[in-house]
A and B are shown apart, each in its own frame.
Chain A
Amino acid sequence: MAAREADRSLSTLFLQHLANGLLDGVYYLLIALGLSMIFSLGGIVNLAHGAFYAIGAYLTVTLGPHIGFGGALLVSPVIVALLGVIFERVLFQRFYRADPILSLLLTFGLALVAEQTLRMIFGAPPLSYSIPPWLRGQIILGDFIYSRYRATLIVIAACCVAALWLLLNRTAFGRVVRAGVQNPDMVGALGISLSPYMMMVAGIGIGLAGLAGVLLAPIYSIHPAMGQEIITPAFVVVVIGGLGSFWGVVAAALLVGLVKGATIGLGYPQWSTAVIYLMMLLVLLFRPRGLFGERIQRFE
């Protein structure tokens, strides 16, 4: 009897780790999708992407007391997306055809400037922000107990992923973007200017990073360097999934979350962050294009 109960609780625990791992991957996903989109269309590796995530979180702390968490959830990503559009117009667009090292330097510099600016405005000590009362508490389904806030978070993230997929695959806008990824010269030859599309893609990608900042502000520490914490695992996700592949990034994000959760579940938490870099190493060794990476001629 006791043994059966222990068995059941172990399998529940395993299921919980499985579900939790998938959720953990969702945070990386919001960041990684934007990174992948901006890279595959513009050829820019946006090292400042984490900074926009941090700005999203700081906006939530600033706006939250006035318009509530719900308000900040709608307004902050839009402000961050607008910032993204401005940076794209003023800076990124000058580097689309340039040596990638230049845009790396540019976005690395931007990340540093953004972090110091946050430090100057808000101070170095972390700021506090809590889950709004209406999202606190647990969801209980039999033996399965999970945080209501995180469950909400995955629904929002899943909606974003679905909306993005529809936008890229079922609209005229998406067709041009996908064509631009494959062959920008041909798109140009057909008389379509990619410039406004690139602006939109940067806005959407950066807005998603801002959204991740809003969603994680209530459960992560809010400090000026928080962008650095998330950008590295997000890059790992992009590399594992394969640049330019929508489902590759989605699958890699979930896989990274799962493997991380399983490592902790099996009792080796000290390996939980090392293991995702190990995965990246294996992918780079045996399938450098990434799990689902498409062959993009101009990058080879």
Chain B
Amino acid sequence: MSDKTASSSSAVSRRTLLGGAAAAALIARPAMLTAQTADVIRFGHLTPRTGFLGPLGEFAVMAADLAVEEINAKGGVMGRKLEILKEDSVNPQTASTKAERMVERDKVSAIIGEISSAACLTIAQVAQRTKTLYINTGGNSDALRGPNCNKYMFHVESQNSMYVKSCGRSLMQQGLVRGKKWFSLTADYAFGHDLLKVAKRFMEGNGGQFVADKLVPTDLTDFSAMLLEIRNARPDLVVCNLAGNQITNFLKQYSEFGLQFQVAGFGFDTALAWAAGKDNFSGTWPVVWHHLIDTPNTKKFVQAFTAKYRKPPENQAWGDYLAVKIFADTMNELKTTDSAKMIEHWEKGAKFDVMKTREGYFRASDHQMMHEMYTVQGLGAASKNQWDIFSSSPAVPGPGESLEVIAATAEENECKFAA
């Protein structure tokens, strides 16, 4: 810099000086950021904002913002202001790099988010290496709670087994399992394969059988040829284990072709039902939470969210809102951000208000949140508006049962935390 100033004429020195000042300000900024760290608590938020999971990621971000706003209005975390750094996780590799930067450079006290199970896995590796706690809010794969489980990763999102077992109960009650023929469509990638494995285990254990078991490429948008196959096979139940926009496409075209076989699926998000619309949404689907649950805290959350964003929250919003609140409440209660102390507290069975009829807790053996699930069914023409287009089952498991009956058992999905 000084060399250049010396060699340039006096006419440009003023510009050089300004440039130098600007550069100095830029260099000084990170230092100013670190200086502020004492006054704020930071959380890192990572979730897909683009790609086929982007629409769900948008709900996650809106909900995380709302949670932070509410926490700061009540005095923040340990008397300090809560800040949330939000990034598009893009893909597993980028998610890992960004998680690392959040911990190393921005000194976040916790990481929250994700929808893709593959990205959960890479973030969890960073969490373990840096001893930072991570709450998974949207990755369903059983493997994350089994072979790939991790001491520093907790899950408010339910695992595939919980989705299958709660939806399976509804199907049993409707007499759609024992001795019945299933036609199954499965998204041809890791999530679909994991879900298919769990679904198969349930079906075979309860006396159902596949009349067809088809893998569907993730970029297939037109299901007409599949619908012809389904009409020809005359199954008792069509099981749709697809993901994202494919579910919406499938439901719209299923209704277009006028097929009357029962439909169910084991992986689902309410935004996809809204996108299909009341004329097209049908079938039996499991959800981790929905905006029509009749509890005071769900009503409060739905009201605050709708007031801020002019649409009700979907289940992905619930996950990220809850995770931010759980971290903030725990830190306030324990008066520390120390990961080891929080893990100990949670593993001892700390209870959380999860906006449902019963409180939830993290199961110590695999860090899965034990909480109630629901199944929803399309209302069709009886829908009141564009959002309230389904009816809900009561909470599963029922009031007299252990919350753990719908989760994978240790034999089905064993987790051994690395020391």
Known: A130-B280, A264-B229, A270-B217. A223 touches B249 (CB 8 A): no
Bin chain A's interface residue count.
35 or more
Query: B236 interface residue, CB < 8 Å from A?
Result: no
Query: A196 interface residue, CB < 8 Å from B?
Result: no
Q: How far is the CB of B120 from the nearest CB of chain A, in Å?
A: 21
Alpha-carbon gap, A21 to B224, bound state (A): 9
Q: Which B residues from 205 to 261 make CB contacts under 8 A with A?
A: 214-217, 219-222, 224-226, 228-229, 231-232, 245-246, 248-249, 252-253, 255-258
Query: B271 interface residue, CB < 8 Å from A?
Result: yes
Alpha-carbon gap, A56 to B272, bound state (A): 21
Instruction: List, in ascending order, chain B residues with CB within 8 A of A230's CB.
Output: 221
Query: B274 interface residue, CB < 8 Å from A?
Result: yes
Q: How far is the CB of B10 from the nearest CB of chain A, in Å?
A: 42
Which of B16-24, B53-61, B174-182, B325-333 forms part of the interface with chain A? B53-61
Residue in A24, A125, A218 whose CB lies within 8 Å of B252: A218
Q: Which B residues from 154 to 201 make CB contacts under 8 A with A?
A: 188
Q: Which B residues from 40 to 59 make CB contacts under 8 A with A?
A: 49-52, 54-59
Query: A158 interface residue, CB < 8 Å from B?
Result: no
Known: A220-B252, A264-B229. A126 touches B279 (CB 8 A): no
Q: Map CB proximity to B onto A213-233 as digits: 1 under 8 Å, 0 otherwise.
A: 000001111110100011000
Q: How far is the CB of A198 from the nearest CB of chain B, in Å?
A: 31
Instruction: List, in ascending order, chain B residues with CB within 8 A of A269's CB.
Output: 214-217, 220, 225-226
Closest to A262 in B: B225
Q: Map CB proximity to B onto A259-289 as digits: 1 under 8 Å, 0 otherwise.
A: 0110011000111111000000000000000
Question: Is A222 a contact of B275 with CB atoms below 8 Å?
Answer: yes
Q: Map CB proximity to B onto A7-26 as digits: 1 under 8 Å, 0 otherwise.
A: 00100010011001101100
Question: Is A274 a contact of B217 with CB atoms below 8 Å?
Answer: yes
Query: A149 interface residue, CB < 8 Å from B?
Result: yes
Bin chain B's interface residue count.
35 or more
Question: Is A125 a contact of B55 with CB atoms below 8 Å?
Answer: yes
Mostly, the B contact residues are helix
Query: A58 interface residue, CB < 8 Å from B?
Result: no
Query: A123 interface residue, CB < 8 Å from B?
Result: yes
Instruction: List, in ascending order, chain B residues with CB within 8 A of A222's CB.
Output: 275
Question: Is A123 a contact of B253 with CB atoms below 8 Å?
Answer: no
Alpha-carbon gap, A272 to B246, bound state (A): 15
Q: How far is the CB of A167 from the nearest CB of chain B, in Å?
A: 28
Instruction: List, in ascending order, chain A residues with CB within 8 A of B58's CB.
Output: 123-125
Instruction: List, in ascending order, chain A residues with CB within 8 A of B277's CB.
Output: 128-130
Q: How far is the CB of B261 from the nearest CB of chain A, in Å?
A: 14
Question: Is B222 a contact of A265 with CB atoms below 8 Å?
Answer: no
Question: Is A149 a contact of B224 with CB atoms below 8 Å?
Answer: no
Instruction: List, in ascending order, chain A residues with CB within 8 A of B229's CB.
Output: 13, 264-265
Known: A270-B188, A273-B217. A125 touches B228 (CB 8 A): no
Alpha-carbon gap, A272 to B185, bound state (A): 14
Question: Is B256 a contact of A150 with CB atoms below 8 Å?
Answer: yes
Query: B276 interface residue, CB < 8 Å from A?
Result: yes
Question: Is A24 a contact of B224 with CB atoms below 8 Å?
Answer: yes
Question: Is B252 a contact of A264 with CB atoms below 8 Å?
Answer: no
Instruction: List, in ascending order, chain B residues with CB within 8 A of A221's CB.
Output: 221, 245-246, 248-249, 252, 275
Known: A126-B55, A126-B271, A221-B275. A273 touches B219 (CB 8 A): yes
Alpha-carbon gap, A221 to B386, bound state (A): 16
Name which of B49, B57, B248 has the most chain A CB atoms within 10 A of its CB: B248
Known: A126-B55, A128-B274, A149-B256. A220 touches B221 (CB 8 A): yes
Q: How far is the CB of B126 from the nearest CB of chain A, in Å?
A: 26
Question: Is A20 a contact of B225 with CB atoms below 8 Å?
Answer: yes
Name which of A136, A145, A219 has the most chain B CB atoms within 10 A of its CB: A219
Q: Which B residues from 296 to 341 make CB contacts under 8 A with A?
A: 314
Question: Is A147 a contact of B217 with CB atoms below 8 Å?
Answer: no
Instruction: List, in ascending order, chain A residues with CB within 8 A of B57's CB.
Output: 124
Question: Is A264 a contact of B226 with CB atoms below 8 Å?
Answer: yes
Instruction: List, in ascending order, chain A residues with CB within 8 A of B386's CB.
Output: 128
Question: Is A138 a contact of B258 with CB atoms below 8 Å?
Answer: yes
Question: Is A147 a contact of B256 with CB atoms below 8 Å?
Answer: yes
Q: How far is the CB of B221 from the nearest CB of chain A, in Å?
A: 5
Q: Map CB proximity to A onto B47-87 as digits: 1 under 8 Å, 0 otherwise.
A: 00111101111110000000000000000000000000000
Query: A192 interface residue, CB < 8 Å from B?
Result: no
Question: Is B275 a contact of A128 with CB atoms below 8 Å?
Answer: yes
Q: How far is the CB of B390 from the nearest CB of chain A, in Å?
A: 13
Alpha-carbon gap, A125 to B270, bound state (A): 11
A-B contact pairs, 11 of them (CB 8 A): A20-B228, A24-B222, A27-B222, A126-B245, A128-B275, A136-B258, A138-B257, A225-B50, A261-B225, A264-B225, A273-B220
- The residues of A with any CB-CB pair to B shorter than 8 Å are 9, 13, 16-17, 20-21, 23-24, 27, 123-131, 136-138, 145, 147, 149-150, 218-223, 225, 229-230, 260-261, 264-265, 269-274
| Known contacts A24-B224, A125-B275, A130-B277; 7 further A-B pairs (Cβ under 8 A) | A125-B55, A126-B272, A147-B224, A147-B256, A225-B50, A265-B229, A269-B220
